[in-house]
A and B are shown apart, each in its own frame.
Chain A
Amino acid sequence: MMATRALLRCGLLAALAVLFGASPGFADTTWQDVWNSESTSKRISLQGRAKTVALTEKGEEHATALIRAAGGKLRLDYEKEDHHWSLVDDGSRLIRLHPSKRSATFMPRMEMAVDRALAERNYRARPVGRATIAGRQTRVIEIAPRRGGLVAWRLWLDRATGFALKRERYNVDGKLISGTEFTSVQFKAAIPPDIFAVPSGWETSEKGGSGERYSLIDLARHLGFPVVAPSYLPPGYVLQGGYAEQRGEHKRLTAALRYTDGLRVLSIYQRPHQEHEGDRGRGGDRPEGDSDKERGGDADRHHLDAGKVADHGGEKVLRHFSKARVVVVVGDLTADQLTRIAASLD
């Protein structure tokens, strides 16, 4: 009798160990494969062709790209119908090459602090099968939010090198927003180092600010206007840092706050609202028929004016006006979350 009870106890303990012990271990192994793939892509030397698709404001954009990487640098040469352009990541900057104008634009490469533990806390990774990509065997991995929600990424990892030969990214609504698939690839390719540099004699220009990361206090001091953090954030998001941006036609100085849940990025932009920045700019964001008159006249004019949430390349954008500032929130979130973030800045 005693022996039977002891046996039952052991069996129960073994079952519990399998249930609570083996599963996280299995998940950890899959995350290790994902992080290994990330490290591989930074040190690998390769040349390959890929089909790439991205959702843009106009709809789906397709292109093929010649991808060359070596020593942590990357060059993408795109072809779309008879149009050609190139992007280079030289490890410290992004460089847009304009061959027809013999010019190059330097953009800051904003180094995001990668928090793998944060990503693993917010997402689960699991293997879902095998497939052949560019003639090579791959393992397919799906990454989805732990709190529920649809699959956010699918990765096809080369079984021999761990490199991601195919990636698909989905937004919170489950829509494919981008994907790249190698059609041919050659690892350990000999890549000439000069392809990552701007050809001599080309004109160069810069845009976008320094890419330097600030704390909120230092950012406000640097910009000379108050920078406000939202009191509401979607679950799992943490502050990554603040940046001083100067983009767009008017080169307005803007504070950019960047948040991440480990994989997705939420950007909150704010700049002082100018009094003569009048109704033409504000009106564009209002629901139809929501005029000042209908909302109670001029007294309401400077209250936080909830704008429309627009879909922009699969992510959502909200432009907001308050008495003090103009705010733009961009992220792969629900419309309700974007609205709550913007409202919490008032």
Chain B
Amino acid sequence: MSSCDRIREQLSLYAVGGLSRRARSGIERHLRSCPACASELTALARTGDLLGAIAPRSAPAALLESVRREILARPRPPAGTRLRRTWRLALATTALAVLVAGGIFLRPHQPSAPPVATAFEPTDDDTPAAMEAHLAAQWSTPLADEAAVGLRMIDEEGG
């Protein structure tokens, strides 16, 4: 098994913050030198983001009411059929409950510290980060006024 194979086996856990600090460091070292695994991680992170973006929604009250009315309006079946249906309904409800519970427990939790390939949210985080790095670069240029550059750096940080 190649080192890439070993890393990829652990990437899903890494993406959800499920690895020890030591294991994470090993993976991060590998990702820095392996674009293929880094790209794999980006794809995983994107899938995770899409899952996370699905928010639970309540059905509109009008829809619930119309479904209830339709059920009540239907002719009642014979008693035996009703019993079989009740059992079927109970079975289906149990199966649904198992699926929902599985979904809750198996769904990856949000990591406290984001992995290297992080979620790309539509906020303008780029400009302040760019300014900060641009100022750091200016520190070592010829004729740099370090006192003034430092004042701007502190201001970029928010004082």
Contact = CB atoms under 8 A, between A and B. Distances in A.
Contacts of B121: 250, 277, 281
Contacts of B125: 248-250, 252
B152 to A, nearest CB: 5
A87 B150 contact: yes
A89 B140 CA distance: 10
Nearest to A264: B141
A328 B147 contact: no
Nearest to A62: B151
B7 interface: no
A167 B126 contact: no
Contacts of A303: none
A111 B140 contact: yes
Tell me what chain A mostly uses at the interface: helix, strand, loop, or mixed: strand
Contacts of A185: none
13 contacts: A52-B147, A65-B147, A89-B139, A107-B136, A110-B136, A114-B142, A169-B145, A223-B35, A224-B35, A256-B137, A258-B137, A281-B121, A281-B122
B97 interface: no
A224 B34 CA distance: 7
Interface stretch (A4-12, A13-21, A192-200, A311-319): A311-319
B53 to A, nearest CB: 7
Interface in A100-114: 107-112, 114
Contacts of B153: 87, 96
A249 to B, nearest CB: 5
A96 B129 CA distance: 16
Given A54-B151, A94-B136, A278-B122, A253 B145 contact: no
B119 interface: yes
Interface residues of B, number: 55
B100 to A, nearest CB: 25
A77 to B, nearest CB: 10
Tell me what chain B mostly uses at the interface: helix, strand, loop, or mixed: helix
A53 B133 contact: no
Interface string B34-45: 111011001000
A250 B155 contact: no
B141 A83 contact: no
A224 B148 contact: no
Contacts of B132: 208, 247-248
A169 B34 CA distance: 43
Interface in B1-51: 31-36, 38-39, 42, 46, 49-50
B147 A67 contact: yes
A126 B156 CA distance: 34
Interface in A256-315: 256, 258, 260, 262-265, 267, 269, 271-272, 274, 276-282, 284, 310, 312-313, 315
Given A89-B146, A112-B137, A319-B126, 15 more contacts: A52-B147, A53-B151, A54-B152, A179-B148, A180-B147, A224-B35, A245-B133, A249-B123, A263-B142, A265-B134, A267-B134, A276-B53, A281-B123, A310-B127, A313-B155
A313 B53 CA distance: 37
A178 interface: yes
B49 A38 contact: no
B93 interface: no
Contacts of A34: 143
A172 to B, nearest CB: 15
B106 to A, nearest CB: 23
A183 interface: no
A313 B133 contact: no
A306 B134 CA distance: 21
> Counting chain B CB atoms within 10 Å of each CB, which of A65, A109, A250, A258 scores highest?
A250
